[in-house]
Amino acid sequence: MFRTGSEDSFVQSLQATPAEIRARRSSRLRSAVLEWSRDVATREFLIQLLTVFIAYFVAGKLGQATTNIRSSNLGPVWPAYGVALAVFLKYRYRVWPALISSAFLVALQGSVPSLGAAGQATAATVAAATGSWLLRRIPNFDPTLPRLRDALGLIVLGAFGSACLSSLFGILSLYATGIQPYSGIESAWLIYWLGDSTGVLLVTPLVFTLPQLLAIRRGARIAELVALVAVTAFGGFIVFGDFFPVHLDVFAFGLLPLVMWAGIDFGIGGATLSVFLIATIATILTALGFGPFAANTAFTNAVLLDVLFTLLAVSGLTLASVINERERAERERERLIRARVEVEARLRHAAVVESSDDAIVSEDLTGMVLSWNHAASRMFGFAETEAIGRPISQFLPPELLSDEATVLQRLRDGERMVQLERARIAPAGEHIHLLSTISPLRDGTGRLVGTVRSVRDISERKRAEEALARAKRKLVRVQEQERARIARELHDDIGQRLALLTVGLTGVSHELQTQASAIASDLQSLSHELHPSKIEVVGAVPGMRVFCSEFAAQHQFDVHFEASDITRQLSSNISLSLFRILQEALHNTAKHSAVRQCRVRLWEAHGWVHLVVSDEGRGFDPAAAKEHRGIGLITMQERVGLVDGELRVESQPGRGTTVHARVPIVDTDTPHEGLSYRA
């Protein structure tokens, strides 16, 4: 008895094990998936072939539209060749049947015999494939031309290089079939070569960069792109529409700034779009008999157009690629810097933090300790296991946490670091000075999630600064004592002798007597400046007022002195420091301001005494002055620093100068012993 194949299969399926059944099902599923994938790939390939055929055909018909400046199937711009190179760069070489058939059809409709059309189509296909192959030899070649190397490769190899092949074999095909365009084979080859080259320069980059322009979504960028297109079109119509009374070829190069604008703001896409728009307008208007290139022969007009388009395209592509490459390099540099900073931060957290002499503590926004290094354990007396996960207020002294809310707000506002200097008394009774540096702790999105606090013991530095301040005060004391001694010598000895000399010259010579009197007066003024005895006798405000009057009389200088709200007697330390600052400021004003008047104000506010000396003279550049600090500025800074004050100098060239000193008021001389000028 015989069984059919289906019956055998049925019997085998009944006898199969579950594993065999699963294997058969898996095999059928793989076969179905492979068949579906092949169908999808086939459909995609057919769509690619159709796209290539239509794109080349449309570009070819556009190139044949300007018959007035063409000869046979040749013209100044052949955008179809740019499409051919672009499709090989995008789809590789498997789409060649669609390309060669479309090229044959376009050439055949351009009054070329079948043999000549076949030769032109073959030449364009082989040359475009060769250009694509050469460009792919450039390492990491990108058809969007983000690098100068890519742009130069497209210009040299893709445009001028591959066009040599297409023009050579294409023109031989035409001449072999009896077609002799333009006025000789040399002229025809030049137009053929320039036409294919400009086609690549105008079309190929635009194919790959136009999607970037269409992806612009911001309103301002869209408005700028629309303005660029409108201005470029308007400029093209102005130059090539016979709006100038004379035809000068150089007018056409006035469009180059528009190409540069497009390349700078919109990159390769903008530059190519602007040149393509200019080329379209120029070619159409020239074919219609308008513009600076319409008054010559068809060959000359075609060459001039090709040269113009080539120069515009090469300039725009190279400029845009250089700018893009520089921006990419800058972004890469910033990325590397960020990566290096992240690595360094991890290293600091892993090694440097633990080996640091500074206490480094991190906490979240609720005040819970996240990390606690060995230096923190040594400085505050709590182990890491005791601190982590518990409120930081249990471990750090209150002085370091007194401004916590203010610090957090400053970090939220964008400050990268907040420094606080605090003093506390150690259990042994000594004063300890701590410098707390607080930085933000952020997550991957940049949100503030906590703080990192670095606490450093700066007690040694503080003691060194106090020792230096004491040394400076002693130096000032010695200086003031020496000034007082010299002033006494000048006033009591030399001044008296000059007075006797003046009396002795009575009746002898009036001129000598006058000169001796003048010398005695100058000597008295000098002694008063060396030793401000008036401040000791009458106080700071009257003494400064008298000094301003004497200074004005001696230097023929108008000094307007104003004092208000001084409610208590200033200590001798403050009085002497402010007097010396006033003295130095007035001398600088008289010497450098180029004006003959200034204003002096002295007042008290909120526990501070303020002294301001201002003028409306020539002024100076404070930044430059910091690099070449004079003795006068250094002296004023040291004087105000010795009484815990502050000095600010504001000036601008041509807008005057203001010297503002402010000093906290103390009731006695004891805080800064040694500054008294009493000898």
**What's the pLDDT score for residue 3?**
46
Handedness of CA 585, 588, 592, 595 (dihedral sign): positive
Entry pTM: 0.49
pLDDT at residue 214, rounded to an integer: 87
608: three-class secondary structure by DSSP: strand
Chain-centroid distance, C-alpha 164: 44
Q: Are 83 and 91 in contact (CB under 8 A)?
A: no
Per-residue pLDDT averaged across 113-122, rounded? 88
Distances (CA, A) of 65 to 70, 71, 187, 308, 558: 9, 12, 21, 20, 86
Pick from 145, 49, 31, 149: nearest CA to 92: 49
pLDDT at 615: 92
Determine the Cα–Cα distance for residues 579 and 409; give it in Å rounded to an integer. Answer: 42
Q: What is the DSSP string of 392-405?
A: GGGTS-HHHHTTHH
In the sheet that holds 646-651, the strands lie side by side as 558-564, 597-605, 608-615, 657-664, 646-651
- Domain(s) of CATH 3.30.565.10: residues in the chain: 465-672
Looking at the domain that runs over 465-672, which CATH code has it been given?
3.30.565.10
Asked if the model's pLDDT at residue 133 lies above 90, the reply is yes
First-to-final CA distance of the chain: 144
Residue ranges of the alpha helices (H) in 567-664?
A: 572-592, 622-627, 631-642
Res 101: pLDDT: 92
Report the mean per-residue pLDDT for the chain.
78
Give the separation between CA 588 and CA 658, rounded to whole angstroms: 11
Rounded (5°) CA angle 172-173-174: 90
| Distance between CA atoms of residues 166 and 122, nearest Å | 9
Q: How far apart are CA 371 and CA 527, in angstroms?
A: 65
In angstroms, what CA-CA distances link 472 with 223, 469, 476? 66, 5, 6
Q: Of all residues in the chain, what percent carry a pLDDT higher than 90?
A: 11
pLDDT at 542: 86
Among the CATH numbers 3.20.19.10, 3.30.450.20, 3.40.225.10, 3.40.50.10490, which is that of 358-457? 3.30.450.20
Using one digit for the tens of pLDDT, what is the confidence trace for 315-358?
A: 888 988 888 888 888 887 787 677 667 656 655 555 555 556 78
Residue 435 banded pLDDT, cuts 50, 70, 90: confident
pLDDT-derived band at 127 (thresholds 50, 70, 90) equals very high
For residue 268, give Cα distances in angstroms to 150, 389, 448. Answer: 11, 56, 40
Q: Which residues contact 602 (CB under 8 A, 6 or more apart)?
A: 540, 541, 544, 561, 562, 563, 564, 566, 578, 609, 610, 611, 612
pLDDT value, residue 676: 38
Place 653 in a pLDDT band, splitting at 50, 70 and 90: confident
For residue range 137-164, what is the model confidence (pLDDT) as tens digits? 998 888 888 888 888 999 999 999 999 9
Whether the Cβ atoms of residue 177 and residue 119 lie closer than 8 Å to each other: yes
Distance of alpha carbon 112 from alpha carbon 287, whole angstroms = 21
Least confident of 50-54, 135-139, 360-364, 507-511: 507-511
At 561-605, the pLDDT tens digits run 998 878 778 887 788 888 888 888 888 888 888 888 999 999 988
CATH 3.30.450.20 domain extents, the chain: 358-457
Asked if residue 305 lies in contact with residue 283, where contact means CB atoms within 8 angstroms, the answer is: yes
Tokens at residue 202, please?
A: 């105008």
pLDDT at 16 over 90: no
Question: For 250-302, what is each residue's pLDDT tens digit?
Answer: 667 778 888 898 888 888 888 888 988 988 888 888 878 787 777 777 778 78
What pLDDT digit, counting tens, does each position of 203-242 carry?
999 999 888 888 888 888 899 989 989 998 888 888 888 7
Per DSSP, 360 falls in state E
- 134 — pLDDT class (breaks 50, 70, 90): very high
Average pLDDT over residues 616-623: 83
Residue 515: the pLDDT is 67
Q: Give the pLDDT confidence of 528-553 residue by residue, as tens digits.
A: 555 565 666 677 888 888 888 888 88
Contacts of 161 (CB under 8 A, 6+ apart): 131, 134
Q: What pLDDT sits at residue 85?
A: 92
Q: Concatenated DSSP letters for 502-562?
A: HHHTTTT-HHHHHHHHHHHHHHHHHHHHHS-HHHHHH-HHHHHHHHHHHHHHHHT-EEEEE
Q: CA-to-CA distance for 305 and 296, rounded, in angstroms?
A: 12
13, pLDDT greater than 70: no
Question: Tell me: the pLDDT tens digits for 560-570?
Answer: 999 887 877 88
- Tell me what pLDDT residue 226 has: 92
Q: What is the largest CA-CA distance in the chain?
A: 172
